[in-house]
Amino acid sequence: MAHNSTLGELLRSQGVSRRAFLKFCTTTASVMALPATLVPVMADALEQVRRPSVIWLSFQECTGCTEALTRSHAPTLENLIFNFISLDYHHALQAASGRAAEAAREEAMRENAGKYLLLVDGSIPTVKAYSTIAGISNLDMLMDSAPNAAAIIAVGTCAAYGGLPMAAPNPTSAVSVSDLIKDKPIINIPGCPPIPLAMTGVLAHYLTLGTLPALDALGRPLAFYGDTIHDRCYRRPFYDRGLFAKTFDDEGARKGWCLYKLGCKGPVAYNACANVKWNQGVSFPIQSGHGCIGCCEPGFWDNGGIYESIARGQFGTGPQMGVAGMVGAGVGAGAALLARSKKERAAAAHRAAE
C-alpha cells in the first residue's frame, strides 16, 4: 500500500481525469446533501489527502453489512478500496489470513496511530469467551484499537445498538460500540443491513471534508437517517386516505395500499430506504409488499411483533386486566360493606343521642 502519495497523485497515476474526479466530488456532495459551493473545497481537500488507513473489525456479526457494502454503487466498493481508502484489515475481503492478517492490523495501527478510521460491525459480547479472533476477545480488541483511532464508525444495527445478539434474553451479554467507547467520535450507521450508500457516503464525507457529518441524537448521519420511511414512502397517500392492506394477499395488498396494519414500522423508523432504496435504487421492502421492520432502530427485535402494527402495544394482557377488575371489585365491595356497618353504628349513636 502506497501511503505516501496523495490521493490526487494516485488518481492521476491511474489515469483518472480531472473531470472524472470533479464529477465524483459533485456526486458525493449531492449524496451527502452538501451545498454545491463545497465541491471545489472538496476537490482541493481531496487532492491533498493521503489515503487514510481503515481498519475493519468484525465482531458478533453475520457479514450482512459487508455483503451490503459490496452492492454500493456510488462510490462503488472497488472504487473505494482502490482509490480512496487503504483497507488494511477486513476478514472477508483481505487476502491475508491467520497471523499475517493480525500482523497487518497491528502494523497499520502503529503506523497510523491517531489517524486511522476504525469500522466496527457486529455487537461485542461482554462475556468475552463468546467471540474471539486469533484468541483475542472482541471486547479486548475493541478496547485496544479504539484509543488510537481518529474516529469509529459502527456499521450495522449490531455495532450501533446491539442488534440481534442483544435481543432478549441476550445470552452473550452483547453491547454496542457506544456502550463501551465514550471518548471517541462515533458515527452509527444502523440498519440490518445498512443501506450501502450510507456507508460509502459517510466514508466519502469523512475523507473529503475530514469531519464527521451532522448526526442525530442517536449518532446517525442526518443525510441518510434524517427522515422516517413514513415521510418518504410512496404509499403515504393510501395511509392518509385510510386504505390499508389487511392481509398479504387481499385486494389492498394487490393494489399496493399502506401496510401499517400489517406491522409496518415506517412511522418510527429513520432511514433512507424509501428514497435511496436498495440494489441501486430498484426497490425496498414496502415496495415489495412487506412492511418495514424498523431495523435501523435500537431494540427493534424486542419492540413487538414484526406483523403487529405500532398501535398494538406490548402492554399486558386481558387476563391481567381481569385480575385487576376482580381486585377492584373485592376492595370496593369490602369498602361498601365496612361503610354499611359504620352507618349502622352511626345510626345507633344518633338514636342514643336523642
Partner 1 sequence: MNLLEFARGPVIHWALIILVAGTIWRLLGVLILTRGADLSRPRDAFGNFKGYRTVFSRAWPSGEFTVATRYQTIMAYFFHFATLIVVIGITPHIEFITSLTGYSWPALPNAVGVAVGTIALVSLIALIGRRLSMPKIYCSNIGDYVTWVLVATPLITGLLAFAHLGARYETMLAIHILSVAALFVWFPFSKLMHSFWFIFSRAQSGLSYAHKGVRI
Partner 2 sequence: MSTPATITPIFPTFEQVCQGFGSQIGMLREMAPKPTHSAEVRVARAIDTLIAETNADEAVWLESCIHCGQCTTACHFFQATGETKYAPMRKMELYRRIYQREIGPFRWWYQLITSPIKLQDLEDLQELVYDSCSECGRCTMVCPMGIDTASLVHHLRSALVAAELVPPELSALREEQRHRGTVFGASSDTLLQMVKTISEHYGVEIPVDKASAEVMVLSSAVDLVANGNGLLATAKVMNHLGVDWTVCTDGFESANFGLLSGDMTLWRRQVEPIVAAAQRIGAKTLVIAECGHAYPALRWNPMLKSEDLPFDMVFMSEYMGRMAKEGRLRLSPLKGKITFHDPCKTGRRGGAFDEPRAVLKAMDADLVELPANREYNWCCGGGAGIFLLERATRLRDESFKIKLNQVNATGASMVVVSCASCRLNFEVGRVKNHWDKEVASLVELVADHLIEPPAAATAGAHA
Residues engaged in binding partner 2 (CB under 8 A): 332, 335-336, 339, 342-343, 346-347, 349-350, 353-354
Does residue 261 interact with partner 1 by CB under 8 A? yes
Q: Which does 239 bind (CB under 5 to 8 A by kind): partner 1, partner 2, none?
A: partner 1
CB of 268 to partner 1, least distance (A): 4
Strand partners, 221: 215
| CA–CA distance, 130 with 239 (Å, rounded to integer) | 44
Q: What is the DSSP letter of 276?
A: T
The DSSP result for 199-268, as a single string, is HHHHHHHHHHHSSPPPB-TTS-BHHHHSSBHHHH-TTHHHHHHT-B--STTSHHHHTT-B-GGGT--GGG
List the grid coordinates of 287: 415496495
What binding mask, one character per residue, do residues 172-191 give for partner 1 by CB under 8 A, x or -? --------------------
Assess 220 for contact with partner 1 (CB under 8 A).
Answer: no
* Per-position x/- string for 290-329, each x denoting binding to partner 1 as judged by CB under 8 A, each - no binding: --------xx---xx---xxxxxxxxx-x-xx--xx-xxx
Closest to partner 2 by CB, 312 vs 343, is: 343
Enumerate residues 6+ apart whose C-beta is below 8 A from 78: none
* Neighbouring-strand partners of residue 132: 137
Q: Which is nearer to partner 1, 127 or 324 (CB)?
A: 324
- CB under 5 to 8 A by kind: which of partner 2, partner 1, none does 337 bind? partner 1
Q: What's the first-to-final CA gap in the chain, in angstroms?
A: 109
Interaction between residue 343 and partner 1 (CB under 8 A): yes
Residues 264-293, mask of contacts with partner 1 (x by CB under 8 A):
---xx-------------------------
Contact flag: residue 335 with partner 1 (CB under 8 A): yes
Residues with Cβ within 8 Å of residue 28, at least 6 apart in sequence: 42, 74, 75, 201, 204, 205, 208
Amino acid (one-letter) located at 3: H
Torsion sign over Cα 135, 104, 117, 298: negative
In degrees to the nearest 10, what's the CA dihedral of 305, 310, 315, 318? -80
Our finding on whether 333 is near partner 1 (CB under 8 A) is yes
Q: Considering the rule CB under 8 A, would residue 250 count as an interface residue with partner 1? A: no
Binding site residues, partner 1, CB under 8 A: 228, 230-231, 239-242, 244, 260-261, 267-268, 298-299, 303-304, 308-316, 318, 320-321, 324-325, 327-329, 331-333, 335-337, 339-340, 343
